[in-house]
């Protein structure tokens, strides 16, 4: 497989970028022509950011799985598409050639069809990091069903909310999942969720942990039983459903500043073209390279850069079931050594946690296969950047700091490994076709060196199309703050060379270990506890997670045992959202700093949580300024 659109030098980047901005449509057409289309598009781009309405490659017909699988069958059928490393190191890895993966996907597409799934249906996938998860995604895409993957750490309540929102009538899950020393009973969580979702018609259950599970007649079927029914030669292929370029590929829920997560919708054609283009260029993937992304497929990074883009590029993608610290903190380095990994894409939070174990877990492994390192999910602090560079890359591997979001589908700002210059803690330059702008609070564009809110002024092919079932929400969330622009929600600064440095969210969204959670969402969950009167949640700097969750809680009764109550509140949050949203600190307070109109002044709460002792700015707007001192006196360390 060759990549005619791969950029090979900084000068070439500059000229391609220039061309992509002056003639975006011609540029993306020149990339798109290297994919397999059943019918060519009628129109390259139609767009406005007012409704918003964005359509790429309209009229084009394709199936993304023909690009991810079938296309490689002639050239490279025995090339390894997917390597899967299990949680327990003594269990053997599994390898799938392109031809084997194609067959598995086709068989599971038959299973979906046999169980009543048809084009356009929403299929919720709640599984651990097993190869069947990737197979399930691709099988949905094969038959034209829309997958909605829910990260395995979310609660039954969260699943049920998402099932309702997407009106998903099918679920694919596992009996359980292994994560480090833990076993998580996924099917049981699904069962709880389904108590409130009687519209779900079928649940397909894969055996992974052999945990006993309830299997309800008619509704629940075993993955392996269903696969047996399609074991014959006639099921080894499944004719890929012809899809419109603008048909939805998937829904992925993500948090915003309002209480309820929204279903970000991506469509097929543009997403495929952009994610593959970005993969090949950012990581400088070369045929034969082994590429390892440590993300979970439950998040967008896993969708785009474990499954779709690497497979569309004919790459070898390594998928890991476990966690970096199990059975010890050398696990990732052991895998790099074992599989001779060339490209490693991970998150700053993982690096910070591994840094605390010292160098011993690293030095016993041969990391000489590594060529490129990548970071995603949150700003990478300089300490982690230098540690990654010196101890993992041994000073010879470019580090790509990739900035993007669930809504952007793929990487928008990043250096291209070894091609464009890296700068520690900077995501650096926009990819071709990406037009960032910084604006001040009034929406005035800032030119040259400066800082402001990060927006985009032109659509790239993988931009969010809508929020499922509620287009207005998409408009108000991303397109109304600064009319005519897509607003990312991130603050950002630009240096004299045009490099971008992301400074973090400017809205009420936290980034906990690279996972997005809205403060309002956590507050709603805390407020559901019987004894809670009111709460306010803010983020604070956390050594490992990047941000920690600090909750100020007004409790209605006297507290006999504050620690136990804290645990009750945390458990309430875990029950409603999932363990990832549990507050790290809960401070009980008598009141919250509010303005006369009743608005909580979060700025002050944030400063207290961050450890500031004075300098709270103008407090005259507060109804009762003495509250600030009271809260400060009770601050938790």
* Residues at the contact surface with ligand PRX, assessed by CB under 6 A: 254, 300-301, 376-379, 401-406, 427, 488-490, 502, 504-505, 511, 516
Closest CA to 313 of 106, 38, 79: 79
Minimal distance, residue 486 CB to ligand PRX, in Å: 12
Minimal distance, residue 196 CB to ligand PRX, in Å: 26
Q: Which is nearer to ligand PRX, 170 or 486 (CB)?
A: 486
**3-class DSSP assignment, residue 595:** strand
> Can you tell me which residue has the tokens 């005519």?
484
Minimal distance, residue 416 CB to ligand PRX, in Å: 14
Q: Which is nearer to ligand PRX, 391 or 547 (CB)?
A: 547
**Beta strands at 290-293 and 316-320: parallel, antiparallel or unpaired:** parallel
Helices 626-633 and 602-609, packing angle to 10 deg? 30
Minimal distance, residue 445 CB to ligand PRX, in Å: 20
Minimal distance, residue 267 CB to ligand PRX, in Å: 17
Q: Which is nearer to ligand PRX, 71 or 515 (CB)?
A: 515
Q: Which is nearer to ligand PRX, 255 or 353 (CB)?
A: 255
Minimal distance, residue 29 CB to ligand PRX, in Å: 26
Minimal distance, residue 560 CB to ligand PRX, in Å: 39
Burial of residue 180 (CB within 10 Å: 0-12, 13-18, 19+) is middle
Q: Which is nearer to ligand PRX, 97 or 317 (CB)?
A: 317
- Coarse DSSP helix, strand, coil percentages of the chain, rounded to the nearest 5 percent: 35, 25, 40
**Beta strands at 500-505 and 486-494: parallel, antiparallel or unpaired:** antiparallel
Q: Cα separations (Å) of 364 from 90, 397, 401, 474?
A: 18, 19, 27, 49
Minimal distance, residue 453 CB to ligand PRX, in Å: 11
Q: Which is nearer to ligand PRX, 426 or 550 (CB)?
A: 426
Q: Which is nearer to ligand PRX, 65 or 254 (CB)?
A: 254
Minimal distance, residue 346 CB to ligand PRX, in Å: 12
Q: Which is nearer to ligand PRX, 548 or 593 (CB)?
A: 548
Asked if 434 and 413 count as a contact pair (C-beta separation under 8 A), the reply is: yes
Sequence-separated (6 or more) residues with CB below 8 Å from residue 65: 105, 138, 141, 142, 240
| H/E stretch holding 214 | none
Asked if 401 and 425 count as a contact pair (C-beta separation under 8 A), the reply is: yes
How far does Cα 175 stand from its chain's mean position? Answer: 24
Minimal distance, residue 464 CB to ligand PRX, in Å: 10
The CA distance from 275 to 301, in Å, is: 10
Q: Which is nearer to ligand PRX, 320 or 403 (CB)?
A: 403
Name all contacts of 443-446 with Cβ < 8 Å and 24+ positions apart. 443/481, 443/482, 443/483, 443/485, 446/494
Closest CA to 209 of 173, 240, 237, 241: 173
Closest CA to 417 of 16, 8, 15: 8
The CA distance from 435 to 418, in Å, is: 22
The CA distance from 307 to 317, in Å, is: 8
Minimal distance, residue 282 CB to ligand PRX, in Å: 11
The CA distance from 455 to 542, in Å, is: 27
Asked if 516 and 406 count as a contact pair (C-beta separation under 8 A), the reply is: yes
The CA distance from 514 to 527, in Å, is: 25
Minimal distance, residue 34 CB to ligand PRX, in Å: 25
Q: Which is nearer to ligand PRX, 86 or 270 (CB)?
A: 270
Burial of residue 184 (CB within 10 Å: 0-12, 13-18, 19+) is middle
Dig out the tokens for 635 from the structure: 């601050």
- DSSP H helices, 513-561, are 519-527
The CA distance from 447 to 250, in Å, is: 36
Q: Which is nearer to ligand PRX, 13 or 487 (CB)?
A: 487
Q: Which is nearer to ligand PRX, 361 or 377 (CB)?
A: 377
| H/E stretch holding 451 | strand 450-456
Minimal distance, residue 262 CB to ligand PRX, in Å: 11
Q: Which is nearer to ligand PRX, 361 or 546 (CB)?
A: 546
Minimal distance, residue 626 CB to ligand PRX, in Å: 35
How many CB atoms are located within 10 Å of the residue 48 CB? 11
Q: Which is nearer to ligand PRX, 248 or 514 (CB)?
A: 514
The CA distance from 333 to 547, in Å, is: 26
Burial of residue 358 (CB within 10 Å: 0-12, 13-18, 19+) is exposed
């Amino acid at each position: 497989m060759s990549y005619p659109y791969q950029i090979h030098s900084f000068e070439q980047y500059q000229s391609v970028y220039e061309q992509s901005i002056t003639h975006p449509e011609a540029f993306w057409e020149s990339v798109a022509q290297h994919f397999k289309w059943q019918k060519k598009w009628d129109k390259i781009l139609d767009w406005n950011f007012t409704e918003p309405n964005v359509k790429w490659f309209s009229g084009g017909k394709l199936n993304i799985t023909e690009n991810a699988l079938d296309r490689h069958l002639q050239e490279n059928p025995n090339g390894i598409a997917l390597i899967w490393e299990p949680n327990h190191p003594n269990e053997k890895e599994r390898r799938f050639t392109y031809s084997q993966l194609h067959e598995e996907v086709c068989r599971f597409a038959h299973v979906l069809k046999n169980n009543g799934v048809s084009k356009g249906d929403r299929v919720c996938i709640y599984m651990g990091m097993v190869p069947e998860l990737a197979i399930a995604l691709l099988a949905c895409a094969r038959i034209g069903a829309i997958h909605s993957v829910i990260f395995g750490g979310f609660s039954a309540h969260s699943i049920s909310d998402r099932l309702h929102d997407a009106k998903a009538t099918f679920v694919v899950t596992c009996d359980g999942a292994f994560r480090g020393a833990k076993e998580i009973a996924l099917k049981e969580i699904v069962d709880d969720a389904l108590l409130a979702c009687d519209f779900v018609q079928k649940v397909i259950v894969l055996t992974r942990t052999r945990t006993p599970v309830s299997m309800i007649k008619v509704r629940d079927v075993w993955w392996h039983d269903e696969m047996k029914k399609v074991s014959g030669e006639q099921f080894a292929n499944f004719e890929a459903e012809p899809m419109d370029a603008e048909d939805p590929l998937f829904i992925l829920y993500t948090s915003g500043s309002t209480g309820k997560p929204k279903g970000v919708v991506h469509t097929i054609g543009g997403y495929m073209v952009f994610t593959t283009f970005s993969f090949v260029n950012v990581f400088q993937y070369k045929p034969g390279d082994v590429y390892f992304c440590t993300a979970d497929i439950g998040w967008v990074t896993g969708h785009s850069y474990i499954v779709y883009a690497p497979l569309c590029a004919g790459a070898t993608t390594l998928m890991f079931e476990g966690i970096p610290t199990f059975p010890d903190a050398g696990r990732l380095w052991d895998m790099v050594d074992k599989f001779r990994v060339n490209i490693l894409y991970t998150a700053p939070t993982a690096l910070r946690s591994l840094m605390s174990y010292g160098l011993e877990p690293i030095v016993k492994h041969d990391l000489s296969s590594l060529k490129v390192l990548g970071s995603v999910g949150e700003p990478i602090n300089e300490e982690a950047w230098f540690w990654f560079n010196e101890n993992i890359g041994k000073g010879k591997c470019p580090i790509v700091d990739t900035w993007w979001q669930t809504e952007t589908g793929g990487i928008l700002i990043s250096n291209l490994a070894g091609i464009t210059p890296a700068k520690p803690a900077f995501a650096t330059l926009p990819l071709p076709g990406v037009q960032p702008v910084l604006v001040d609070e009034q929406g005035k564009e800032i030119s040259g060196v400066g800082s402001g809110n990060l927006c985009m002024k032109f659509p790239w092919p993988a931009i969010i199309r809508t929020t499922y079932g509620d287009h207005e929400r998409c408009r108000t969330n991303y397109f109304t703050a600064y009319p005519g622009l897509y607003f990312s929600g991130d603050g950002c600064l630009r240096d004299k060379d045009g490099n971008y440095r992301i400074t973090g969210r400017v809205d009420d969204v936290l980034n906990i270990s690279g996972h997005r959670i809205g403060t309002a969402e956590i507050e709603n969950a805390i407020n559901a506890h019987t004894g809670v009167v009111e709460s306010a949640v803010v983020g604070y700097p956390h050594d490992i997670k990047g941000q920690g969750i600090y909750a100020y809680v007004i409790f209605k009764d006297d507290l006999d045992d504050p620690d136990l109550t804290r645990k009750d509140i945390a458990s309430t949050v875990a029950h409603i959202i999932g363990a990832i949203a549990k507050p790290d600190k809960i401070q009980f307070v008598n009141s919250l700093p509010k303005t006369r109109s009743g608005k909580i002044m979060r700025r002050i709460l944030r400063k207290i949580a961050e450890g500031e002792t004075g300098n709270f700015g103008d407090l005259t707007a507060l109804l009762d300024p003495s509250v600030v001192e009271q809260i400060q006196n009770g601050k938790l360390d």
